[in-house]
Amino acid sequence: MNKTKIILAIETSCDETAAAIISSDQKNNEMSVLSNIVSSQIKLHQKYGGVYPELASREHNKNIIPVLSQALSEAKLDLANIDYFAITTGPGLIGSLLVGTQTVKTLAYILNKPVIPVHHVEGHIYANLLNNKDIKFPLVALVVSGGHTSLIYMPSHLKYEVIGQTIDDAAGEAYDKVSSMLKLQYPGGPLIDKLANNYLNKSAENKENLKKLFPRPLLKEKNYNFSFSGLKTAVLYYLKNQNINQKTQEEVSFAFQEAVTDTLVKKTLKACKDYNAKTLLISGGVAANQTLRDKFTKSTNDSTIKLFLPEKYLCTDNALMIAIAASQKLLENQVGKWYDINTNANQKL
């Protein structure tokens, strides 16, 4: 039997319409990427300062077939060549999710092909496994995005225990809110990242004081939860007495980013130690942050724990990560039919 399977994955949980195709060699547990298309709606949502859900689902509706057909043509395949469909079933914006799930349901029904449902966070975690087979368990995964800040313990593949999460805002959400306080555009993460680096590349005077300007919430607590709402309020109060000019934008970006990244790194490393993790997987949009990447790299350099960071293009939402997770699910026979797809905006891991 031919063990190489073609998987077409679709992801529409937020504001990216994405489709990817991989060829998965199940015998050798290897994969190759045939196409990876992401159509971002960022420009459209910028004037609202965040994702406008109704508009997002309408855009998915408009883009889904062109994105799907581009993924097929770049892979030089047509629908008849697809062995499995994979789809993000949740969590996310319900209207957005439904566009993807309904598309896949229809295709799977008409073509009589199996479907692999994938949790969005599971996709982020598995973005680390493109070309990496030698992941050692147990592991700890940190998922940091606009919708999630979660620490997850994994004793083996596809087994998850959420050991910590944010009790209020997600890290990316805090980035986006602080950026709007600084009169910057949505999404704020990449802009704050850049401004903080501008500060460091210039004189960086007052650096030590700025590092201490904002609190590191919940750092002293014994649990692995995060909280970013107090930090956001601290930035708001600080800005009340400031003019917002380029200097303030750069300094506040640096100070805020120091507080967020310190908290994420320290809590995650504590979880790794307490759970005897052999591997640490970082993922989600905020994992594209260079300071966060540098701090994790530096702090795991001399330890036995092996750090994985997906390439930056795989940190923000995409369908390739869904295809990679689906390939693992296929190995473990976690496959269903079109009627097994349950779209759930609040799906638990």
Residues in region 134-153 near Zn ion by CB under 5 A = 145
Interface residue with ligand KG4 among 117, 123, 164, 189 (CB under 6 A) is: 189
Q: Which residues pair with 4 in a beta bridge?
A: 25
Residue 276's region, left for phi above 0, alpha for psi from -120 to 50, else beta, is left
Interface residue with ligand KG4 among 14, 34, 37, 210 (CB under 6 A) is: 14
Contact partner at residue 217 from Zn ion, ligand KG4, none, CB < 5 to 8 Å by partner kind: none
Interface residue with ligand KG4 among 24, 149, 225, 316 (CB under 6 A) is: 316
Q: Binding to Zn ion by residue 318, rule CB under 5 A? A: no
Coil, strand, or helix at residue 306? Answer: strand
Query: Nearest 5°: CA angle at 212, between 262 and 215?
Result: 65
Residues in region 262-301 near Zn ion by CB under 5 A = none
Residues in region 98-157 near ligand KG4 by CB under 6 A = 145-147
| Structure token pair of residue 125 | 């975690």
Residues in region 43-82 near ligand KG4 by CB under 6 A = none
Q: Binding to ligand KG4 by residue 289, rule CB under 6 A? A: yes
Q: How far from each other are the two terminal CA atoms of the chain, in whole angstroms?
A: 33
Distance of alpha carbon 160 from alpha carbon 249, whole angstroms = 39
Residue 140 beta carbon to Zn ion: minimum distance, rounded to whole angstroms: 19
Interface residue with Zn ion among 51, 317, 327, 329 (CB under 5 A) is: 317
CB-based contact 170:343 (threshold 8 Å): no
Interface residue with ligand KG4 among 286, 322, 323, 330 (CB under 6 A) is: 286
Residue 113 beta carbon to ligand KG4: minimum distance, rounded to whole angstroms: 27
CB-based contact 7:92 (threshold 8 Å): no
Quick note: the x/- pattern for ligand KG4 over 243-282, rule CB under 6 A, is ----------------------------------------
Q: Binding to ligand KG4 by residue 190, rule CB under 6 A? A: yes
For residue 169, the 8-state DSSP code is -
**Omega cis (within 30) before 155:** no
Q: Which stretch binds ligand KG4 (CB under 6 A): 154-162, 170-178, 201-209, 218-226?
A: 170-178
Residue whose token pair is 């992801």: 11
CB-based contact 84:116 (threshold 8 Å): yes
